[in-house]
């Protein structure tokens, strides 16, 4: 948005134009009533109704006489808003001003002054440019509303797809901030608003979320910039509101773009944070806090690529809590949940930094490991199996019986001619886990994948006990 002085320079308006308008002021004044009547009649024609604001006499006068930037912009701006609110389109108002331009040229010809015609046409050019700015802001507001609603629906839909509850408080904070910016646009457009534009940054909807725990949720290294942008938005909003109330719409419109820039910083971080929460929720198990199956599948492919690249042996391990259904049926699902949480933490405490435990589903857990030699995967699994103490878990949770696990371990060599498909590797380790269950549970079975991507029959064996 540019002010009238800048517009005049861009349009080639010179001091001689105003001098010419001043010279013919009296002559033009004699035609103001007729010009005003004509323009008012044209408005009715374009609006197809009598219920539309007529052209302000002062609007016609400022186009005919110029009379300085401080009066020109507010009058043209208010007239444009009045016609826009009445339903006149940008094209219709442009046509009105074009017809008025033609009348100005005719009058200048009667007065035999091409310089006057030039000056009057420049004023119409200014008015049409201001008109375009108003409608541009209006279109920006509509796009902003659509984009804000789209982002909210996008986030809510993402959480719906993974059947997880969306962070409603954060979404509401985002919605409140967008509503605040929408009000700022409406104030700049001179629209009647039913809500107050809150200028105190400590009392807005976003601030309420921040003070109720939002600050702690934001990344620490982004808080200062976020706070600065949030404060700046409200400071600029206060100034813009003051300018609008003081009938300085050109300055108010100038301010709206500064507000937009500061607000974009706030909005971008809120959306980024919403996306981060989604990724966290989508890839983490809500009960145990472990990475879930989605994370496992992503990390498994990364590990497989690394193993092939650096000649490492990949190990895929499945762990299953024996007779877990009995815990749920006998002791209740709350106790079953407690067992899952304590068990998962017990296993995590035995892993290396580079190893990660995933909740595969239900009472099954998975681990992906990388090793330098062919025996590394089995050795890792055997150590983990031996170190697990079902009795210690029993005592910690006051269970009536010890907790045991069945475990399976598959080694994928790095020198296979073809990379075995995920389906085959998962089927192989699942088969070994089934064998451990069928053999009486509380056992570890292991095997190795062959050249064709199948479990080698001659490598299948019970490792423990």
Domain end position, chosen among 232, 251, 283: 283
235 and 308 belong to one structural domain: no
339 and 392 belong to one structural domain: yes
Residue 92 lies in a domain: yes
Mapped onto helix, strand or coil, the DSSP state of residue 228 is helix
pLDDT for 50:
63
Residue 323 dihedral angles phi and psi, to the nearest 5°: 50, 35
Domain end position, chosen among 248, 283, 318: 283
- Average pLDDT of the chain? 88
pLDDT per residue over 188-238, tens digit each?
777 766 677 788 888 888 888 888 888 888 888 888 988 999 999 889 888
pLDDT band with cut points at 50, 70 and 90 for residue 15: confident
pLDDT for 10:
62
415 and 447 belong to one structural domain: yes
pLDDT for 441:
94
**For the whole prediction, is pTM greater than 0.85?**
no
pLDDT band with cut points at 50, 70 and 90 for residue 1: very low
312 and 416 belong to one structural domain: yes
CATH number for the domain including 97?
Answer: 1.10.490.10
Residue 260 lies in a domain: yes
How far from chain centre, in Å, is Cα 81? 32
Q: Does residue 2 have a pLDDT over 80?
A: no
Whose structure tokens read 């929460």?
277
28 lies in which domain range?
Answer: 4-136
CB-based contact 435:398 (threshold 8 Å): no
**In Å, how far are 82, 127, 202, 263, 461 from 37, measured between CA atoms?**
17, 19, 51, 44, 101
* Number of structural domains found in the chain: 3
CATH number for the domain including 193?
Answer: 1.20.120
pLDDT for 377:
95
Asked which of 50-54, 193-197, 332-336 is least confident by mean pLDDT, the reply is 50-54
The residue among 77, 83, 81, 117 whose CA lies nearest residue 100 is 117
Share of the chain above pLDDT 90, in %: 46
102 and 182 belong to one structural domain: no
Residue 97 lies in a domain: yes
335 and 386 belong to one structural domain: yes
39 and 119 belong to one structural domain: yes
The angle formed by the CA atoms of residues 21, 24 and 27, to the nearest 5 degrees, is: 135
CB-based contact 266:225 (threshold 8 Å): no
Q: Does residue 89 have a pLDDT over 60?
A: yes
Domain end position, chosen among 252, 283, 314: 283
CA distance 348 to 343: 9
231 and 301 belong to one structural domain: no
CATH number for the domain including 366?
Answer: 3.30.70.270
439 and 322 belong to one structural domain: yes
């Amino acid at each position: 948005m540019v002010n009238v002085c800048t517009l005049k320079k861009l349009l080639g308006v010179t001091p001689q134009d105003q001098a010419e308008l001043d010279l013919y002021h009296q002559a033009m004044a004699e035609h103001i009533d007729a010009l005003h009547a004509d323009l008012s009649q044209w408005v009715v024609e374009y609006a197809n109704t009598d219920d539309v604001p007529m052209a302000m006499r002062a609007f016609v006068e400022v186009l005919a006489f110029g009379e300085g930037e401080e009066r020109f912009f507010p009058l043209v701006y208010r007239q444009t808003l009045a016609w826009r609110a009445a339903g006149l389109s940008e094209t219709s108002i442009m046509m009105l001003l074009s017809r008025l331009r033609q009348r100005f040229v005719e009058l200048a010809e009667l007065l035999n002054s091409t310089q006057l015609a030039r000056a009057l046409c420049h004023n119409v050019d200014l008015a049409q440019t201001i008109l375009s700015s108003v409608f541009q802001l209006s279109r920006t507001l509509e796009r902003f509303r659509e984009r804000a609603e789209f982002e909210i629906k996008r986030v809510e839909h993402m959480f719906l797809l993974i059947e997880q509850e969306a962070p409603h408080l954060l979404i509401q904070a985002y919605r409140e901030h967008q509503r605040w910016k929408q009000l700022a646009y409406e104030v700049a457009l001179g629209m009647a608003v039913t809500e107050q534009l809150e200028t105190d940054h400590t009392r807005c909807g976003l601030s309420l979320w921040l003070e109720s725990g939002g600050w702690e949720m934001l990344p620490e290294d982004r808080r200062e910039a976020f706070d600065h942008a949030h404060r700046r938005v409200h400071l600029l909003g206060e100034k813009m509101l003051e300018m609008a109330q003081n009938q300085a719409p050109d300055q108010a419109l100038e301010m709206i773009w500064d507000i937009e820039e500061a607000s974009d910083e706030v909005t971008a971080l809120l959306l980024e944070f919403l996306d981060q929460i989604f990724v966290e929720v989508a890839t983490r198990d809500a009960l145990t806090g472990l990475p879930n199956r989605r994370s496992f599948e992503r990390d498994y492919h990364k590990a497989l690529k690394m193993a092939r690249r650096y000649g490492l042996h990949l190990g895929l391990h499945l762990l299953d809590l024996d007779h877990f259904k009995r815990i749920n049926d006998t002791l209740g699902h709350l106790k079953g949940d407690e067992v899952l949480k304590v068990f998962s933490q017990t296993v995590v405490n035995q892993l290396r930094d580079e190893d990660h435990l995933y909740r595969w589903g239900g009472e099954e857990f998975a681990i992906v490991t990388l090793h330098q030699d062919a025996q590394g995967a089995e050795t890792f699994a055997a150590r983990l199996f031996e170190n697990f103490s079902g009795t210690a878990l029993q005592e910690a949770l006051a269970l009536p019986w010890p907790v045991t696990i069945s475990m399976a371990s598959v080694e994928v060599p790095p020198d296979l001619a073809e990379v075995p498909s995920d389906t085959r590797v998962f089927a192989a380790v699942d088969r070994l886990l089934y064998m451990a269950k069928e053999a009486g549970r509380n056992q570890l079975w292991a095997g190795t994948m062959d050249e064709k991507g199948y479990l080698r029959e001659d490598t299948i064996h019970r490792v423990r006990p």
